Every structure is written in C-alpha cells, then in structure tokens.
A and B are shown apart, each in its own frame.
Chain A
C-alpha cells in the first residue's frame, strides 16, 4: 500500500494521524526499541527514524546533542539500516528515514535507495536537500517504491510553495514556524492561515511539525492538516521521566487524535 493510501485509510477512523520520531542510537538501540514498542502500544500512525549526523544544522539543542551522543557511541550507517530492518519487520507502522544529505551523498543516490528499500523503509525526509538538488533521486525513489518527503516552510513565497508542492508524494512536511527543531510553537498565532497556504500548494496530505508539544497542540491541528508530528517533546519526556512518562505522554497524544 502506498504511503498516501495508508494515510487516507487511517483517516477513516481518526481526525488526525500522529507521526513520532526516534533518533537511532540515542540514548541506545535498546531504548530505541522500547520507544517503538510504546509507540506501537499507542497505535502511532507513522514513525520517523533519524540517522544521526555530525553537523545537524536543522536541529535544536535537544536533537543536536542526541545526534552527537549517538555518534559518540559509534552508530554507523550499517547499524542504522539494520535497526530499521528489524523495526519494519516487527512493527506495522510505516518507517520514514530522516537524515542529512551527506549520508545519502556518500552512499550514492542509488545505493541509498536500495538499502532503504531493503530495510523496509517507506520514504525519506532530508531537510538540507532542496528539490533542485534531487536530480535522479526522484526517479530512483519512484523505481524503488520510496516516498520522498518535501518540506514547506513559513518563509517560502507562494510561488516557491507551489514549486515544492509539485514534488509532493505521500505527504508534505509543513514546518510550523521559523527556527530549528525543539522550541515550543505557539499554535494559536496564525497556524490556520499557514496551513491554508501550504494546503493550497499541494494535493497530497499535509503534515505539520516543529514544536508540537502535547495533546492540546494536536487537537488544535484538527482540520488544519492530516498528520501531527511530535519529535523533541517526546524525547524530552523520556529524558525527564523515563519509560513511564514516555508511555503516558504517548497516551495523551494518541487520545488527542479523536
């Protein structure tokens, strides 16, 4: 089933889908596995698995440190794909690779697509790769059955949004505010208008992320988009309160979908 069809079918039973995030290798592969188990328990709809990078320019302090710690413990590309393969075998939700372009560039576009497909990945989000630089990555992802996820940001002109929107497959990742990951977003300030601008630029489902920090935020997004993305807030709950707090936070998020 394509990512897009999957999203449509899930929307039959909930107002919004939930996409959560794991930085592979942080705090450890074992803990990552338990995180995924809790996500499955909360019936999360999609999961982003981030491949750490030494220069994570789109990430704020929480994720930047997590990237660094994962690499310090020696996380390699092999281990990453290995983990993804085990996860896609065991868990039913689609797994989307998130990472920086150097990982893709060093593997070469073709090998990256082959390995991602072999690991059971559904698609990829590469925040430092503008659409002009994809080149054969678009046709290669198509022939490998992978969904490339383009990004919309609030500073884009309408013309640029349309240009990016044309490359939308599966879903488009709409960034909810300026800046990098981590900081809380005030969703009351103009999120509807922003979502409407994004919506007008693409036919595929819209996901909104960056600074979504709890159930109320997810509820606030009902009707504005199809997918709410929660990243840093989840990791912070694990760091502050361990598995139990992580579990109850996921429960809060999952309830907010209805």
Chain B
C-alpha cells in the first residue's frame, strides 16, 4: 500500500506530493544515505518482514486483537464500532512496532548506541526496552514539560538502563527533544542510530516508520473482513506525528469506499490558538523544519508556535508529510477534538467497555463519539486505540480531581 502511495508521487525521493524531503545539515547526509541503503535492502528482502513479524509475535502481542465495542455502539445508537487494540502491545502502545523494526536495522548496520526523542514517554520506553534486549546503549531526550507530566515513563526508562536527558530549550516539549536528537546525531552518527518515533523528519524516516507501522493496517483489514465480512465504512485514528494513523490508513488506502479520518489535538479549542491541529482547521501552513517539509503550526515568518494538548504525544508542531499529502489529495479528512471532549471520551470508554485509553488515543475515541450518532446502524466503524492510559494516571487524576488520589499524593509528599 505504501508502494502505491510512493508510486503516485513525483520522482523526487522522499517526497509525498509536495511534502517530505531531507532538509538537514550536510553533516548528516552520509548517515542518512547509509540508513536509506540499509532500509532499501531490508525492504526488498522478503525474510526481513517475516523476521519482523516473528519478533512482534514473540516479544509483543501481534496480531493485536480487534475488539467489538457493543456497549459504546448501543449507547451512541449508531454503527457497529470495532477497536484495534494497539494498547495491548509490549510497553503499551503502537510505538513498539516501529522501534523493533528499527532495532532490527540497527543490528544489520552494526551500531552500538541508540538515541530517541519522546513526548508522552511511550516511544522512549519502547526504545529503552529494545536497547535493553539488544544490548545497546540508549539516550532518551525528553522536553522538561513532558518529564513533569509523564513521570512514570521517566522512571521506567531509567530503570531499563537508559539515560534520560531533560530538554529545557524552546517550549521544552517534543519538538525540542527532536532538535536535541538531531544535534546529538550530528556528532555521534558513527556508532549511533537515531530511532525517530513517528512518521516525520528527514527521508527515509517518514517512509520507513510508515512501512513498519503498516502492520497495524494489514491486520485491521484482515480482522475486519473476518469479523464483519466487509471493510469498515469509516476509520478513526489520532494524529500526533502521524505514525499510528499512517500505519492504520495504509491498510485501506486503495479502498476508496473506506473513509479515513485523522483526529488532531484540539486543545482548548481551535479558535483559542491553544491547540496542536496542523491539518484540521486553518492554523497550519507549509514550512520546513526539523529536516522535512510539511504543515506546521508557525507564525507568518516561519517561527514555530507553542502548541498545546492535554496529551503530550500529540503536542507537536509538525505532522507526517504522508498525511499532509493525503490531505491535499482529499483522501483523508482531518478533525480536532478538544481536551474536554477527550477526557469525556476517556471516561465513556472506561465505564462502558472497561478499557483504559491513553489520552492521545482517546482523541480518536472522541472523534468517533462525536460523529457516530449521525451514521446508520448498518454502518461499521474502525478505530485504532494507539496506547493504554496507565502512564496518564497523574494527568487524568488531576483533571478528574479524584479525591482519593489527591489525599494519597499529599500523604506521599508529606513523608
């Protein structure tokens, strides 16, 4: 499916329509070329995909289940809703798909150290487990704001043996962690691989990350056919950098009758300016930063704006060039759900289906909840739950003003 997307695009490598490319300092050129060669080699080797699938079956939980959400469907009075359970992966999110894939490439390239950025901490934890298992040194860069709001993940990364570096620059979130990784890599590339965590950054990262993540879409397609005998009418995914969304969408890209919907972080509302919606609404515009061309949240002169979302993993200025291209072609529709809607959707899923969603993933749930009542009962909806919410316990407990948890924190702090 990715091949069909790539075939569609102009002959320039690493471009999806007008977006993508590799805008990095020349110092990274040779390393990126080596990575392109290693990836192309692996991509053409049929045993590599088999090896990847085996790793994901034996180390993670692939294929992850497809859960029918009967209670939610009934409550909304709308279509049958099915949920792809990426939360049941090793380390609790889809991030591990890309991480283990890149881990296999690292082994092929013979590098000894990995670095990664992380927002929610999910990609950082996934990378730290991969490094532990493959015996690699590991450094994780994380914005200081995210270190604060995702403390449990920091704890696990450090216990796994990774060095976690808190980044104070800029807005101290995901984008600043990416800058720091690029700076580290500009020095360390001989023995170090940069495990970029989403379908963004310079070529070949968008293509490579999407290629690994398409395992989600492939499984979804088979599972939907097995469960319902047909393809879903609509697919919802949350969009941060865009890796779980591209991975899922790739399973249905050539099926024109399947409507694809990407849900971005609406934060406090698109009209407040405090959000992270680059493709939904009209605040995003084309630009070049962090090694690639895409839609960014920036001012007129191209300085990046501060973004906002209750979900650290969606709180980012840019978005996958693949998704930018799919917006221009009209293949994917983009919407945004607000922090408030997301917390509500989180609780609905919790109470009705007993599933603890990551706040990132709850955006997709909120999107489906908003639109499903307008769809016929004979329709089917697929939504990807990209991760589980255990990591968000502090943020969620605070937002819900949970009294027992507040007393617990006070007691702990008083000790």
A residues adjacent to B (C-beta < 8 A): 53-58, 60, 64-65, 68, 71, 76-77, 100-103, 105-106, 127-130, 133, 151-157, 160, 164, 175, 178-180
Contacts and interface: CB of A to CB of B under 8 A. Distances in A.
A153 B23 contact: no
Nearest to A152: B26
Given A54-B304, A106-B300, A106-B301, 13 more contacts: A55-B170, A55-B175, A57-B182, A57-B183, A102-B298, A106-B287, A128-B23, A128-B291, A155-B28, A155-B30, A164-B26, A179-B187, A180-B186
Listed residue (B24, B169, B288, B298) with the most chain A CB atoms within 10 angstroms of its CB? B288
23 contacts: A53-B303, A54-B303, A55-B175, A55-B289, A57-B24, A57-B179, A57-B183, A57-B290, A64-B169, A101-B23, A101-B288, A102-B288, A102-B289, A102-B302, A106-B300, A127-B26, A128-B25, A130-B24, A155-B27, A156-B29, A157-B30, A164-B26, A178-B186
Interface string B183-218: 100110100000000000000000000000000000
B31 interface: yes
Contacts of A77: 301
A100 B287 CA distance: 11
Nearest to B287: A102
Listed residue (A55, A76, A105, A133) with the most chain B CB atoms within 10 angstroms of its CB? A55
A57 B301 contact: no
A116 B189 CA distance: 35
Contacts of A151: 25-26
B240 interface: no
Contacts of B23: 101, 128-130, 133
Nearest to B317: A55
B29 A153 contact: yes
A103 B26 contact: no
Interface string B283-303: 000111111010000101111
B78 interface: no
A contact patch SS: loop
B53 to A, nearest CB: 34
Contacts of B169: 64-65, 68
Contact of A153 (B27, B286, B293): B27
B22 interface: yes
B21 interface: yes
Contacts of B28: 155
B22 A130 contact: yes
B170 A178 contact: no
Nearest to B21: A133
Interface residues of B, number: 33
Given A103-B302, A106-B302, A155-B189, A130 B29 contact: yes
Which 3 residue pairs spanning A and B have beta carbons closest together? Answer: A179-B187, A106-B302, A102-B302
Contacts of B303: 53-54, 71
A156 B30 CA distance: 6
B25 A153 contact: yes
A101 B302 CA distance: 9
A108 to B, nearest CB: 11
A76 B303 CA distance: 9
A103 B303 CA distance: 8
Contacts of B170: 54-55, 68
B27 A154 contact: yes
A156 B291 CA distance: 18
A179 B26 CA distance: 11
A4 to B, nearest CB: 21
Contacts of A128: 23-25, 288, 291
Contacts of A58: 25, 186
Interface in B268-312: 286-291, 293, 298, 300-304
Nearest to B169: A64
Nearest to B24: A128
Interface string B160-190: 0000000001100001000100110011010
A83 to B, nearest CB: 15
B26 A153 contact: yes
A68 B28 CA distance: 24
B308 to A, nearest CB: 16
A64 B287 CA distance: 20
B385 to A, nearest CB: 31
A181 B80 CA distance: 56
A45 B74 CA distance: 76
A65 B167 CA distance: 12
Contacts of B29: 130, 153, 155-156, 160
Nearest to A164: B26
A227 B187 CA distance: 24
A196 B286 CA distance: 40
Contact of A160 (B30, B290, B298): B30
Nearest to B289: A55
Contacts of A106: 287, 298, 300-302
B301 A103 contact: yes
B27 A105 contact: no
Contacts of B183: 57, 60, 179-180
A16 B213 CA distance: 53
A100 to B, nearest CB: 8
Nearest to A127: B25
Contacts of A54: 170, 289, 303-304
Contacts of A65: 169
B19 to A, nearest CB: 12
